[in-house]
Amino acid sequence: NIHEAQFALQLYELLQRVTKLAGIKVSVGIITPYKLQLKCLHREFDVVLKSDEGKGLYIITVDAFQSQERD
The pLDDT tens digits for 15-41 are 999 999 999 988 899 999 999 999 999
Q: What is the model's pLDDT at position 69? A: 62
Is there a domain that residue 70 lies in? no
**Side-chain half-sphere of 8: how many Cα atoms within 13 Å?**
23
**What's this model's pTM, rounded to 2 decimal places?**
0.83
Is there a domain that residue 55 lies in? yes
Is there a domain that residue 59 lies in? yes
Q: What is the model's pLDDT at position 6? A: 97
Domain count of the chain? Answer: 1
Is there a domain that residue 71 lies in? no
What mean pLDDT comes out for the span 48-61? 92
Contact 63, 52 (CB under 8 A): no
Full domain range(s) for residue 48: 2-65
